[in-house]
Structure 1
Amino acid sequence: MYEKTDTYEEKRLEILKSCRLLDTIPDYSFDQIVLTLKEVCQVPIALFGLMDQDRLWFKSQVGCDLTEAPRETSYCNIALKRQQILIVPDTLQDPVFKDQPRYLKEQLIRFYAGVPLITPDGYELGVLCIIDFLPRELTPGQMLMMAKLARQVMIEIQKRRVTENISRQTQERISQQHKDRFFWKLSLAFSLVIALRIVSVFPTLWTVSNSDKLSRSVIYTQEVLS
């Protein structure tokens, strides 16, 4: 587990952005996981959110059209800070949440459960969560399934992270190859210019050499005639 410092947060956001998931269109794989979670836990709302710098942005949601929420006031932010599953059977009876009522679809949220999504190298990217407007409990089987589905979300995220990394490295190699070809062509052109300059000097040298010979021949002839 990493100490929560400014450096940690910078690295966390860097990893999050490298996944290229923020503000993207719905994804079938994530939608199916969230739908399965809703059906297994028998709740009206299930969501998968990514924690950006100042907001919780929902990549997938079932049962509501919520797209984002403020980071600091969201239940998911508390789940992330704890780095373990957070279950609140009744928000009005919970010492932490009773003074922080939250509403969704103009209804008071009474039940919340969220599993933080943490990379293998220890960075928190988001939360898989469920919401109900009635107090309730989760069965051991439902909690186990919730943890399994959270791992499946992380597998999908890691796939995209690896794919983006490979794509970036490929683009960098292509760019470097283009640069190498450019400098090779530039070097070749420069060499050709030098070669042409050298070749162009040869006729001049030949003319000068022959001119000297002719001059010496004329002088010699004059001396003989004298």
Structure 2
Amino acid sequence: MKKPQKPKNEPLRIQTLNELGLLDSEPEPQLDRLTEFVAHVFCVPVALISLVDSDRQWFKSKVGLDACETSRDISFCGHAILGPDVFVVPNALKDERFKDNPLVTGPPYIRFYAGAPLVHKNGSALGTLCLIDIEPRTFDEDDIKVLREVADKVIWEFCH
């Protein structure tokens, strides 16, 4: 398993998360609707709005998962925030970074992951809007476009 690196702008990213007051905050119906929407549109059992802090990823909104957070060291989202593009893992069992990850070898048995970074106007990726499936799957350019557009709506909700 490959642990995610920290972004170059990690101090600014953490400061922005703290200033927005998103971590450990109450559920927000408008965000829950967006999470439910992407779960439905993409027919996945799990969809999350995940915020990545110093040591963990915390779920601001979730569909299909009971956990409220996981360690950053085993998170897929920790990898997804390292670049601006939607991060896709078609089959985690065949990906060297994830094949022995405890989230792959045990519950929730992740096979497919797609995460759109939630990028603040200052350039900090605060977390992701992500999709998880227990079956490998493909994700085409149209899928990426839709997920990116909904992720942009999530970040707009964070900042307004």
Establish whether TM, by shorter chain, passes 0.5: yes
Q: How does 1:116-155 map to 2 (within 5 A)?
A: 116-155=117-156
Cα offsets for 1:50-84 (capped at 9, x unmatched): 11111101000011122001112101101111332
Query: Retained in 2: the 8 A contact 1:87–1:114?
Result: yes
Structure 2 CA distance for partners of 1:158 and 1:85, relative to 1, 3 Å = same
Greater C-alpha Rg: 1
Query: Retained in 2: the 8 A contact 1:40–1:142?
Result: no
Gaps of 5+ in 1: 160-226
Offset, 1:10 = 2.2
More strand, by proportion? 2
Task: Name whichever of 48-57 and 105-114 sits farther off.
Answer: 105-114
* Aligned mates of 1:100, 1:136 — CA distance in 2: 18
Taking structure 2 as the reference length, the TM-score comes to 0.88
Offset, 1:87 = 0.7
Provide the alpha-carbon RMSD of the alignment: 1.9
Offset, 1:119 = 1.1
Q: How does 1:171-186 map to 2 (within 5 A)?
A: none
* Aligned mates of 2:38, 2:148 — CA distance in 1: 10
The equivalent residue for 1:40 is 41
Higher relative contact order (CA closer than 8 Å, sequence separation 6+): 2
Aligned residues: 155
The equivalent residue for 2:58 is 57
Query: Retained in 1: the 8 A contact 2:112–2:136?
Result: yes
Structure 2 CA distance for partners of 1:95 and 1:31, relative to 1, 3 Å = same
Offset, 1:4 = 4.4
Identity %: 37
Query: Retained in 1: the 8 A contact 2:48–2:131?
Result: yes
* Aligned mates of 2:70, 2:102 — CA distance in 1: 14
More helix, by proportion? 1
Task: Name whichever of 103-112 and 28-37 sits farther off.
Answer: 103-112
